[in-house]
Amino acid sequence: MALIEEDLILLDTQATDRNDALSQVAEHLHKDGFVKASYREAIINREANFPTGLQTATIGVAIPHTDAEHVNTAKIAVARLQQPVTFEQMGDGQPVAVEMIFMLALKEPHAQLTMLQNLMTMFQNTEVMNQLIHAQTPTAVLVILNENSIK
């Protein structure tokens, strides 16, 4: 079963701030039953305490995630924001203008580590990140992700 599905790829999402962006993506996972009602609040709280923003060579990204107890079915939702919103950089708390969110709803700790490693490798590839930010459809985003071991 694929972790990322086409209907979990949100393009040109309008968000007023970090919590609005996180809420919208979390609600998208919740409406399909992939996560519990507690997931949205848990992801917002965890992001406040353990920031996941990351400035890549091309764009700011965030990889919010929370405990498996809030997850029903392992999935990853991707949101490309119409306008960047400010997250804090993981590690140092510096502001990052985030344009893409990769929200992890995973049940197995080792799966989370593997996915984070795969995402970090992809984030270092400037060409791939440019493709993602300019992709016209969820299908195009899905193909790019699958080609880079994000599936």
At residue 12's C-alpha, the angle toward residues 68 and 33, to 5°, is: 30
Position 109 scores a pLDDT of: 73
Position 33 scores a pLDDT of: 96
Structure tokens at 142: 């899905």
Residue-by-residue pLDDT tens, the chain, 151 positions = 689 999 999 999 999 999 999 999 999 999 999 999 999 999 999 999 999 999 999 999 999 999 999 999 999 999 999 999 999 999 999 999 999 999 999 988 777 788 889 999 999 999 999 999 999 999 999 999 999 988 8
Position 1 scores a pLDDT of: 64
The kind and range of the H/E element at 118 are: helix 109-123
The values of phi and psi at residue 122, to 5°, are -65, -40
The number of CA neighbours under 13 Å toward the Cβ of 106 is 20
- Cβ atoms of 25 and 101 within 8 Å: the answer is yes
Minimal CA–CA distance to 103: which of 14, 33, 23? 23
How many residues does the structure list for the chain? 151
- Cβ atoms of 48 and 88 within 8 Å: the answer is no
Report d(CA 111, CA 88) in Å as an integer. 24
pTM for this one? 0.96
Minimal CA–CA distance to 150: which of 134, 137, 129? 129
